[in-house]
């Protein structure tokens, strides 16, 4: 197959890990792919397939504001992206178009190209605006902006839904996402986000301390206080307990507890070993982001280490934690302490902890990419 891929911009820190693994797999299978995306963060990851970045929003608030207004009124951004991609691929043949996105853009451009070239269109929708509570940035919270924001959102969602109706097939990341999309298109398939099985797999590592680790940025809206209090209360009872945060330096002022080790971010090359050396991996609910995008959860699942998720017990990610038996989601400090005690006893007995996860195959990126390959093959038959 020869596949044209349109993706929304690659952004730090994971640079759309879902699409990257899909592209790597398709390339290894001998398929030819060409990726087009909006220029944003510098692309620093290695790749063996061509990625073309197309700029649209250049520096400058006035330029951004004018283009945003014109785009909202005329859909000019999608038409411009479609024209530029068409110029780049002239005289080339493709069998199908794959659009990987968490928003309307570049779905609109992908549909324009699919219509003009008479190609089947598959959309991998890895987020829906309705399922992310979100928080408007500072300028959008102004009273004078509310009417435009409401109109702009309704216009954007209407355009997105029109593309969902027209797509030949769709994949998305959770049962709730499937439920939201199905009224627009029955041909929707669930493919969860997942982990790279070549990097994240079970390896039981004996350690000299019981390590509770947090990996990644800690945002202001996340609430670690409940876990921190539980750890502080258990320090004397569990002498080998060691809590470490590999995070942004500003978190130091929020984690002002004794015996909490705060380090900088870890290189991605050693994240898998750091997870395997941990006894528990901490995850904190972020009320402004869908939990399904929490990459550390999937990596921890791949390594089969216990997850402690707090302070939310309902939502997309808690549902998956329960489905996979990946650990505990709770807002109760006594439940947190009991969970830590139980895992501590397991570590004392075995020298390591292991979480007996279930349904792990559903989150294996290799098998997920195989599933996507089959769906694309069916489109061009």
Strand pairing of 32-38 and 2-7?
Answer: parallel
Q: Is residue 185 classed as helix, strand or coil in its secondary structure?
A: coil
Q: Hey, what's the torsion of the CAs at 339, 344, 345, 351, to 10 degrees?
A: 140
Q: For 9-46, how does the pLDDT look when each residue is reduced to its tens digit (9 = 90+)?
A: 998 878 899 999 999 999 999 999 999 999 888 898 99
Query: pLDDT grade, residue 231 (50/70/90)?
Result: very high
Average pLDDT of the chain, as a whole number: 90
Peptide bond into 152 cis (omega under 30): no
Query: pLDDT grade, residue 254 (50/70/90)?
Result: confident
CB 37 within 8 A of CB 120: no
Least confident of 100-104, 138-142, 155-159, 191-195: 138-142
Q: Taking 90 as the threshold, does the pLDDT of residue 258 lie above it?
A: no
- % of the chain residues with pLDDT over 90: 72
Strand pairing of 260-263 and 241-246?
Answer: parallel
Of 146 and 159, which is predicted with more confidence?
159
Give the predicted TM-score (pTM) of the model.
Answer: 0.90
Q: Taking 80 as the threshold, does the pLDDT of residue 59 lie above it?
A: no
Q: Taking 50 as the threshold, does the pLDDT of residue 139 lie above it?
A: no
Residue 68: predicted pLDDT: 63
Q: Taking 70 as the threshold, does the pLDDT of residue 136 lie above it?
A: no
């Amino acid at each position: 197959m020869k596949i044209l891929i349109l993706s929304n911009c690659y952004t730090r820190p994971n640079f759309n890990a879902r699409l990257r693994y899909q592209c790597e797999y398709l390339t290894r299978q001998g398929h030819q792919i060409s990726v087009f995306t909006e220029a944003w963060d510098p692309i620093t990851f290695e790749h063996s397939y061509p990625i073309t970045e197309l700029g649209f929003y250049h520096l400058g608030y006035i330029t951004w504001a004018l283009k945003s207004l014109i785009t909202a009124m005329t859909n000019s951004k999608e038409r411009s992206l479609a024209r530029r991609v068409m110029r780049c691929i002239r005289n080339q043949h493709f069998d199908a178009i794959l659009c990987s996105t968490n928003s309307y853009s570049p779905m609109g451009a992908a549909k324009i190209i699919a219509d003009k070239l008479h190609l089947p269109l598959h959309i991998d929708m890895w987020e829906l605006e309705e399922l992310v509570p979100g928080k408007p940035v500072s300028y959008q919270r102004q009273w004078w902006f509310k009417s435009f924001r409401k109109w702009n959102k309704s216009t954007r969602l209407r355009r997105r839904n029109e593309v969902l109706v027209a797509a030949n097939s769709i994949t998305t990341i959770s049962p709730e996402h499937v439920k939201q999309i199905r009224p627009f298109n029955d041909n929707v398939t669930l493919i969860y986000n997942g982990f790279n099985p070549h990097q994240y797999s079970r390896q039981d590592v004996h350690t000299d301390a019981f390590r509770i680790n947090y990996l990644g940025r800690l945002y202001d809206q996340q609430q670690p206080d409940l876990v921190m209090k539980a750890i502080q209360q258990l320090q004397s009872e569990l002498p080998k307990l060691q809590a470490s945060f590999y995070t942004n330096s500003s978190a130091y002022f929020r984690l002002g507890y004794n015996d909490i080790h705060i380090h900088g971010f870890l290189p991605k090359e050693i994240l898998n070993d750091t997870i395997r050396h941990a006894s528990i991996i901490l995850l904190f609910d972020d009320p402004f982001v869908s939990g399904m995008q929490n990459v550390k959860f999937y990596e921890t699942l791949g390594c089969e280490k216990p997850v402690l998720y707090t302070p939310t017990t309902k939502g997309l990610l808690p549902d998956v934690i329960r489905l996979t038996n990946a650990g505990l989601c709770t807002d109760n400090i006594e439940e947190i302490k009991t969970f830590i005690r139980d895992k501590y006893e397991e570590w004392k007995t075995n020298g390591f902890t292991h979480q007996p996860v279930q349904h792990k195959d559903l989150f294996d990126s290799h098998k997920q990419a195989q599933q996507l390959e089959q769906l694309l093959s069916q489109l061009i038959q």
